[in-house]
């Protein structure tokens, strides 16, 4: 009875049950998510969604991050979820490549503000424990069907994210185990997300929609709406329908509260598919080496990269035409690393992707798959016109669990992207406010302070 076990565990868990390392991981996950959501709030994908959907907004209880606009909780969850994922800069549970915080935080924050509008304050501790149970649920379920679920074409972030959002919102609403199990079932039947959509507006829509679906599931369940209470494990339930024959549900559900998946959450230093990060990391290092040698990118004859096979499967776009496509191009990532020595949101702007400076180097990059390499490993050789070579072996990319981003680097990332939306002073204020989540008496007041 995996569905009910998740429901019972999440319903009974107390904030005081959380180890300090889990609380810290949850705070970092929220901080990173908020930076991504604010940073993506003015992206054309986000603003197009707002333009299309604003005529349908209901009672304005919840914030659309990045400005003064508000919407009903359902649409706020959708829009903020889109914004948080549109730069592909959000967190990653590396064992499943789920981006776990987007669906969960987008739903929980929107509903926390709705509750505040009705006179019920949600504390930082209430918010964090809801975030934790949602992330644990979606990652355990993702592990249960990994990797075939992803290999066949499901976008695992959104296909599990609606379930995580449902569990988290159920926790925020203090639903009992039976109600939570029904919420899980309602979320299961709203399975969302095809990998075919990568490189388009719809990829980030997956995250927003899964947040919205999970929120809807919990709200329906809170009013007595029913579903199957064995929706995950049943013969025709979620795992057996979308798992492609992989079913380790009992194993991973049994580890709830013993092995904390949120502690394995990693944070991206670059706004693109995480499998590209080893190449970008190495190319940024090589950018410095090239300058130190007194050479320039104009002197490059060829660049040869050896990468994990998943890199070419996910990010093999040789000639991306815009920023969204470039996020799935190991060639663009390598080019901006070599030419510009950085790979932040600005380096994925459409005009950079199509610039002659970048495309001239991008066309010289060749990537080949090597099954002996790890997913966060790469080997890069730069050949110059005069016969010289520079080599770089990245054993573990920055942002991996072996080379994690520090709080200082996380803050630099936050300020870098949020200052483009709120200005430098606004970004600093937002950063300080976000770090104060744990001690907040009212999360809605914290959001208002942004």
Least confident of 79-83, 211-215, 281-285, 398-402: 398-402
Please indicate, yes or no, if residue 399 is contained in any of the structural domains.
Answer: no
Which letter does DSSP use for residue 272 in this model?
A: S
My answer on whether omega of the bond before 142 falls inside 30° of 0, hence cis, is: no
Question: Does 445 lie in the same domain as 346?
Answer: no
Question: Does 193 lie in the same domain as 44?
Answer: yes
Q: Is 59 a residue whose pLDDT tops 90?
A: yes
Cα–Cα distance for residue pair 103/82, rounded to 1 Å: 9
Q: Is 356 a residue whose pLDDT tops 90?
A: yes
Closest-CA residue to 218 (of 145, 121, 112, 143): 112
Question: Does 288 lie in the same domain as 262?
Answer: no
For 100-139, write each residue's pLDDT tens digit.
999 999 999 999 999 999 999 999 999 999 999 999 999 9
Question: Does 150 lie in the same domain as 29?
Answer: yes
Please indicate, yes or no, if residue 382 is contained in any of the structural domains.
Answer: yes
Question: Does 240 lie in the same domain as 153?
Answer: yes
Question: Does 414 lie in the same domain as 345?
Answer: no
- Give me the mean pLDDT over the 232-245 stretch: 96
**CA-to-CA separations, 232 to 150, 181, 243, 268, 429, in angstroms, rounded:** 17, 10, 11, 30, 42
Q: What's residue 213's pLDDT?
A: 98
Residue that terminates a domain, selected from 352, 375, 394: 394
Please indicate, yes or no, if residue 310 is contained in any of the structural domains.
Answer: yes
Residue that terminates a domain, selected from 394, 417, 441: 394
Q: Quick check: helix, strand or coil at residue 300? A: strand
* Structural domain boundaries, residue 386: 274-394
Question: Does 410 lie in the same domain as 311?
Answer: no
What's 254's domain CATH number? 1.10.4100.10
Cα–Cα distance for residue pair 100/52, rounded to 1 Å: 26
Please indicate, yes or no, if residue 440 is contained in any of the structural domains.
Answer: yes
Q: What's residue 188's pLDDT?
A: 98
Which residues have CB under 8 Å from 340's CB, separation 6+? Answer: 287, 347
Percent of the chain with pLDDT over 70: 100
Q: Quick check: helix, strand or coil at residue 366? A: strand
254: left (phi over 0), alpha (psi -120 to 50) or beta: alpha
Please indicate, yes or no, if residue 324 is contained in any of the structural domains.
Answer: yes
What's 381's domain CATH number? 3.30.1330.120
Closest-CA residue to 327 (of 49, 32, 43, 53): 43
Cα–Cα distance for residue pair 280/379, rounded to 1 Å: 11
Q: What's residue 449's pLDDT?
A: 87
For 340-355, write each residue's pLDDT tens digit.
999 998 999 999 999 9
- The beta-strand segments (E) located in 156-230 are none
Please indicate, yes or no, if residue 16 is contained in any of the structural domains.
Answer: yes
Which residues have CB under 8 Å from 31's CB, separation 6+? Answer: 410, 414, 431, 434, 435, 437
Please indicate, yes or no, if residue 70 is contained in any of the structural domains.
Answer: yes
Q: Into how many domains does the chain fold?
A: 2
Q: What's residue 450's pLDDT?
A: 82
Q: Is 329 a residue whose pLDDT tops 90?
A: yes
For 1-55, write each residue's pLDDT tens digit.
899 999 999 999 999 999 999 999 999 999 999 999 999 999 999 999 999 999 9
Task: Output the furthest CA–CA distance in the chain (Å, rounded).
Answer: 74
Closest-CA residue to 343 (of 272, 441, 239): 272
CB atoms within 10 A of CB 29: 25
Question: Does 114 lie in the same domain as 34?
Answer: yes
**CA-to-CA separations, 47 to 50, 51, 69, 281, 365, in angstroms, rounded:** 5, 6, 12, 31, 34
Question: Does 257 lie in the same domain as 171?
Answer: yes
Closest-CA residue to 89 (of 323, 355, 319, 249): 323
Question: Does 7 lie in the same domain as 141?
Answer: yes
Question: Does 331 lie in the same domain as 294?
Answer: yes
Instruction: Read off the pTM.
Output: 0.93
- Give me the mean pLDDT over the 257-278 stretch: 95
Which residues have CB under 8 Å from 227's CB, separation 6+? Answer: 182, 183, 184, 185, 186, 188, 189, 221
Closest-CA residue to 138 (of 105, 176, 115, 116): 105
Please indicate, yes or no, if residue 400 is contained in any of the structural domains.
Answer: no
Question: Does 177 lie in the same domain as 310?
Answer: no
For 137-190, write each residue's pLDDT tens digit.
999 999 999 999 999 999 999 999 999 999 999 999 999 999 999 999 999 999
For 86-100, write each residue's pLDDT tens digit.
999 999 999 999 999
CB atoms within 10 A of CB 420: 17
């Amino acid at each position: 009875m995996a569905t009910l076990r998740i429901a019972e565990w999440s319903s009974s868990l107390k904030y005081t049950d959380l180890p300090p390392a889990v609380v810290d991981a949850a705070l970092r996950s929220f901080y990173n998510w908020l930076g991504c959501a604010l940073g993506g709030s003015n992206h054309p994908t986000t603003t197009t969604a707002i333009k299309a959907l604003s005529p349908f907004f209901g009672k304005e209880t919840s914030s659309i991050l990045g400005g003064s606009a508000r919407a009903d909780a359902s649409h706020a969850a959708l829009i903020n979820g889109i914004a948080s994922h549109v730069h592909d800069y959000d967190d990653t549970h590396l064992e499943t490549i789920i981006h776990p915080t987007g669906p969960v935080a987008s739903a929980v924050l929107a509903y926390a503000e709705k509750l505040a509008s009705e006179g019920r304050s949600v504390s930082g501790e209430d918010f964090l424990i809801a975030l934790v149970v949602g992330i644990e649920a979606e990652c355990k379920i993702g592990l249960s069907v990994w990797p075939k679920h992803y290999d066949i074409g499901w976008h695992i972030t959104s296909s599990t994210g609606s379930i995580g959002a449902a569990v988290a919102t159920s926790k925020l609403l203090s639903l009992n185990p039976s109600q939570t199990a029904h919420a899980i079932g309602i979320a299961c039947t709203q399975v969302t997300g095809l990998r075919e959509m990568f490189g388009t507006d719809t990829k980030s829509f997956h995250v927003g929609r899964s947040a919205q679906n999970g929120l809807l599931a919990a709200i329906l369940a809170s009013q007595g709406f029913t579903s199957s209470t064995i929706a995950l494990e049943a013969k025709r339930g979620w795992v057996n329908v979308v798992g492609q024959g992989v079913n380790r549900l009992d194993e991973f559900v049994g580890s709830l509260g013993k092995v904390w998946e949120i502690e394995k959450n990693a944070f991206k230093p670059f706004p693109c598919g995480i499998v590209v990060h080893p190449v970008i990391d190495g190319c940024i290092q090589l950018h410095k080496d090239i300058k130190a040698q007194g050479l320039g990118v104009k002197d490059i004859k060829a660049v040869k990269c050896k990468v994990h096979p998943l890199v070419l499967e996910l990010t093999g776009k040789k000639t991306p035409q815009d920023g969204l496509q470039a996020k799935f191009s190991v060639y663009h990532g390598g080019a901006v690393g070599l030419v510009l020595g950085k790979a932040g949101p600005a380096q994925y702007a459409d005009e950079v992707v199509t610039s002659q400076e970048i495309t001239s180097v991008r066309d010289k990059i060749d990537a080949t798959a090597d099954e002996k390499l790890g997913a966060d490993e790469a080997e890069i050789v730069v050949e110059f016109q005069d016969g010289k070579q520079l080599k770089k072996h990245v054993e573990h990319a920055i942002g991996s669990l072996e080379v994690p981003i520090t709080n200082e680097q996380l803050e630099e990332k936050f300020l870098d992207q949020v200052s483009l939306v709120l200005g430098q002073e606004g970004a600093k204020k937002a950063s300080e406010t976000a770090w104060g989540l744990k001690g907040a008496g009212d999360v809605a007041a914290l959001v208002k302070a942004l």
